[in-house]
Structure 1
Amino acid sequence: MIGAAKGGPLGWLLDGYVGWKFRSTFRGLWVRGALPTGAEGRLVYVNHTSWWDGFVLHQLSRAAGWDAYCLMEEKNLARYRFLSRLGAFSIRPGEAASSLESLRYARELLSRPRAAVCLFPEGELRPFGVLPLKLRRGVELLARVGRAECVPVALRYAFFEHERPDVLVEVGAPHAPGELELFQDNLEAVVRKVAAATSLEGFTRRVSGGSGVAERWDTVRGIRA
């Protein structure tokens, strides 16, 4: 197993790089729903539709004040080892010994103050909004082993009235560990809710990104939208 290795000069450099990369690509990160706070650890499970998802979770976690970690398939983390500096740790799907080791490691992480262990329970990229979701049982096992509150989060990348895309985040109500069907129902509920959004009404911008041509022109003219 490859463990997380957060911090150090490389980790700090990567933190800054991810923030710059986000701001240079998106107009902002907008959240609807309450991001849990407090010292206790939490399991955050998220739909997986884009290469950007990990970077978005990094920015969301910083905005929420979480000490975030993310479970990745080992072959991918071995290829992009630098992601361990951002909190990624590995699992080898289908190998019982590896799964047990990763579960124990995640349980230890969840015992840390403000920890948020994030995972994509679908285990693969899937088009946004395609339901029903197909979750793997690992999310249920991890929740039971970690005995942590579980938070469903849906991500959506949307163009509205601006040149740059916005990232919409729908946060569901935290719940206790349970059967896999509970996780599926809760994740599908937040996916449906964020999919129905036709504007940014009800969302709060938690991370600012870059402006577009129209916004810069309005600034030059002294008009703020």
Structure 2
Amino acid sequence: MRRSIRASVRRELAGVYLRGPLPPGGAVVAPTHGSWWDGYLLRELAWTVGHPARVMMLPGQLVRFPFLRRVGAIGAGDLRAAVRAARAGEWMVIFPEGRVSAQLAALRPGAAWVAGVAGVPLVPVALRVVMRGAQHPEAFLRFGPPTTGEALRPALGALLAALDADLRAADPEAPPDGYLRVVRGQGSTHDRVGVAARLLTLLTERR
């Protein structure tokens, strides 16, 4: 299952980019939830940097996809397991919106509650999966500093606005300033054609 998820990210996305400090130990990671990819992205990031992580899912989703338990998914009602994971040093990924939403939706209290009971930081993250200058979508994650339950919504809103501004200001064929590519994904056809054309030009010039 892990191999399948990682292959899917690399095959179907052009790349995954990161900005901001990652929590060094146990934490509740509270991301925005704007796309189907979001759980995969946090899981892939954790695998890439070698940090243990779990992702909380709605019970109905786990019934449909029970195999995701094999890669650390737990049900939204299993709060004790979430607290134990965070206390043990894992990233416990909990989407406070509880569902996919194009705009920042109302937040549920679970992420802040787990962080408070576990005694770990509550870390906001803005996520975007967007089409820009590449043939395939690109994923961007912007981590913010730890916050409180009361300040989580404004923290997420500010991070999301900053990420969107970064994307607007950037060359669509280059990552925004300050973002590190952590996963190399699927290249575009025009990139491969461009490399072949440059090689042909070089060989022609040498004749």
TM-score (norm 2): 0.87
The equivalent residue for 1:112 is 88
Aligned pair 1:217/2:193, yes or no?
yes
Residues 1-225 of structure 1: pairs in structure 2 closer than 5 A: 14-37=1-24, 40-92=25-77, 102-113=78-89, 115-127=90-102, 130-131=103-104, 133-175=105-147, 178=148, 180-196=149-165, 197-198=167-168, 199=170, 200-202=175-177, 203-222=179-198
Question: How far does residue 219 in structure 1 lie from its aligned partner after superposition?
Answer: 2.1
CA contact (8 A) 2:43 2:55 kept: no
CA distance in 2, matches of 1:52, 1:36: 21
TM-score by length of 1: 0.80
Q: Separation in 1 of the partners of 2:51 and 2:198? A: 38
Bigger mean CA offset, 194-203 vs 208-217 = 194-203
The 8 Å contact of residues 45 and 153 in structure 1, kept in 2 or not, is answered as: yes
Distance of 2:27 and 2:35 partners within structure 1? 23
Look up the equivalent residue of 2:12 and give its one-letter code. Answer: T
Residues of 2 paired with 1:194 and 1:71: CA distance? 24
Report Cα offsets for 1:163-202 as digits up to 9, x if no partner: 1111111111124xx3x33111111111111111222222
CA RMSD of aligned residues (A): 1.5
Q: Which has more radius of gyration?
A: 2
Aligned-residue offset at 1:161 = 1.7
Letter in 2 for 1:150: L
* Post-superposition offset of 1:222: 4.0
Q: Which amino acid aligns with 2:122?
A: C
Give the deviation of 1:33 after TM superposition: 1.3
What is the alpha-carbon distance in structure 1 between the residues aligned to residue 109 and residue 185 of structure 2? 36
In the TM superposition, what is the alpha-carbon distance from 1:63 to its structure 2 partner? 2.4
Q: Check the 8 A contact 2:35/2:128 in 1, yes or no.
A: no
Number of corresponding residues: 192
Aligned AA for 1:201? P
